[in-house]
Amino acid sequence: MPDDRPVALDEYPVHQVPLSMKHVATGDRNAYDRCIFHVFDHHGRALLIVGLGVYPNAGVIDAYATLRDGNRLHAVRASDALGDDRMNLSVAPLRILVERPLKDFVLRCEADPDDPDGLSYEINWSADFPALWEPHHLQRRGGRLTLEGRRFVQAGRCEGWIRVGGEEIRLTGDQWTGTRDRSWGVRPIPGEEGGRLAEDNPTEGFHWLWCPVRFEDRFLMVVIQEDADGYRTLNDATLVRDGQRDLQLGWPQADIAYRPGTRHPTSAVIHLTHPADRKPMELGVEVLTSSPLAVGAGYPPADDWQQGTWRGRGWTDRRVYDLSDPSAHPLAAYGVIDHAARFTLNGQTGHGIFEHGSFGRHDPSGFTGFDSVAH
């Protein structure tokens, strides 16, 4: 018999449908609910990415942390059976504490007693700006809805410490930036069948740009998704300023400079438009360091672990990847890559994430297929 007893969250008036908070309103196996934090210094030395996801209809909770430090990528991953306490955001050594919703968080990774030089951290992540909704995200394959997500994004500062390789890195609010996003809905997890829809609607190309940027007195969010022919399916550019209405900056257009022989960006200019006088604004991007999400973080097309997969109870994995040789991780180029970056806008300097993925055909960039690269 199924266990239909109430859970603690059912005590609060937060229900959206006539179900226990233990259940989601859809039976889709791809239902998910997760958060991601980015923590990085302003000189490109280190980029830490932390995530935790719940997959209610798969009965899985998992989490990961990856630290890019030079050419090494330190990864900690953990997975377990999903329990009833949805306010307990922890999986084995990885934990996220919500101190004040939408404001203060503690990110924690316990040290491995068998490897004291492995990755551990304790970081206070504090928001500097209100959370910002991104556009409702919809994606179909043929007639089937394959992705529907609601997401908000935020930026702030970080303090605390990271230990790895016998060294301690101290985080200070003036030299480190944090960004995060929180999303839920339905998106594909491994095990999705191919079938007729996949055969009739092959993926020709995918082009993605996601940029949360923190300046001293404002926060900027840019997101773009385009099909192979350049048709835009997701678009937003919004500037958040204290005490003022959010400013919409038009239809962003990105000019990206790639390293020759790759689709790895080195810099970019994102063209924006001020709504009051229609004056052009240029967001300059300088990539400082990069972390491929298909290596360590479990994003497709990772070949050693992907988020949402059942690995049994109490599964934990720690490893170090060498990123000095791109040929050692050939799938990384076909996944989204997060780049810690320095941004400039109207004479101000900010820091944020330049998340980019471009694979297959993309006519506006001149890419003709999956083997096409920059010259």
> Tens of pLDDT along 318-345?
999 999 998 899 999 999 999 999 999 9
Instruction: Flag whether 97 is in a domain.
Output: yes
Residue environment code for 188-226, b if the CB has 16+ CB neighbours within 10 A, otherwise e: ebeeeeeeeeeeeeeeebbbebbbbbbbeebbbbbbbbb
148-173 mean pLDDT: 96
> Cβ distance 159 to 123 under 8 Å?
yes
Residue 244 CA to residue 172 CA, distance in Å, equals 28
Write the CB contacts of 338 (distance below 8 Å, at least 6 apart in sequence): 38, 47, 49, 290, 291, 292, 293, 353, 354, 355
Give the pLDDT confidence of 284-297 residue by residue, as tens digits.
999 999 999 999 99
State the chain's mean pLDDT as an integer.
94
Residue 146 CA to residue 30 CA, distance in Å, equals 9
pLDDT at position 185, please? 96
59-85 mean pLDDT: 97
Structure pTM?
A: 0.96
> Cβ distance 277 to 250 under 8 Å?
no
pLDDT at position 359, please? 95
Instruction: Flag whether 22 is in a domain.
Output: no
Run of H or E including 139: strand 137-141
DSSP string, 153-196: EEEEEEEEEEEETTEEEEE-TTTEEEEEEEEEEE---TT---HH
- Closest Cα partner for 237 from 267, 210, 276, 265? 210
Q: Give percent above pLDDT 70 in the chain.
A: 98
State the pLDDT confidence band at 196, using cuts at 50, 70 and 90: confident
Instruction: Flag whether 125 is in a domain.
Output: yes
Tell me the pairing of strands 232-241 and 120-127: unpaired
DSSP 110: P
State the pLDDT confidence band at 1, using cuts at 50, 70 and 90: very low
Q: Given a cut of 90, is residue 143 above it in pLDDT?
A: no
Backbone angles phi, psi at 344, to 5 degrees: -130, 140
Give the pLDDT confidence of 83-134 residue by residue, as tens digits.
999 999 999 999 999 999 999 999 999 999 998 889 999 999 999 999 999 9
Q: Given a cut of 80, is residue 197 above it in pLDDT?
A: no
pLDDT at position 195, please? 75
pLDDT at position 2, please? 55
Give the pLDDT confidence of 216-238 residue by residue, as tens digits.
999 999 999 999 999 999 999 99
> Cβ distance 205 to 362 under 8 Å?
yes
Instruction: Flag whether 16 is in a domain.
Output: no
- Closest Cα partner for 127 from 220, 214, 34? 214
Q: Using CA of residue 296, residue 299, residue 305, residue 306, what is the dihedral sign?
A: positive
Give the pLDDT confidence of 235-250 residue by residue, as tens digits.
999 999 987 899 999 9
- Closest Cα partner for 282 from 234, 226, 238, 347? 347
Question: How many separate domains does the chain show?
Answer: 1
Instruction: Flag whether 85 is in a domain.
Output: yes
Write the CB contacts of 79 (distance below 8 Å, at least 6 apart in sequence): 60, 61, 62, 63, 91, 309, 310, 311, 312, 315
Write the CB contacts of 372 (distance below 8 Å, at least 6 apart in sequence): 361, 366
> Cβ distance 262 to 333 under 8 Å?
yes
For residue 42, how many other CB atoms are within 10 A of its CB? 15
Q: Give percent above pLDDT 90 in the chain.
A: 89
Distance of CA 212 to the CA centre of its chain: 10
Instruction: Flag whether 4 is in a domain.
Output: no
Instruction: Flag whether 154 is in a domain.
Output: yes
Q: What is the extent of the structural domain holding 309?
A: 32-188+198-365
Write the CB contacts of 289 (distance below 8 Å, at least 6 apart in sequence): 40, 44, 45, 46, 47, 68, 339, 340
Residue 30 CA to residue 27 CA, distance in Å, equals 9
State the pLDDT confidence band at 275, using cuts at 50, 70 and 90: very high
Residue 371's alpha-carbon distances to 226, 253, 257, 359, 368, in angstroms, are 18, 24, 18, 9, 8
State the pLDDT confidence band at 3, using cuts at 50, 70 and 90: low
- Read off the CATH number of the domain in which 310 is found: 2.40.370.10
> Cβ distance 105 to 348 under 8 Å?
no
Instruction: Flag whether 370 is in a domain.
Output: no
Give the pLDDT confidence of 171-193 residue by residue, as tens digits.
999 999 999 999 999 999 987 76
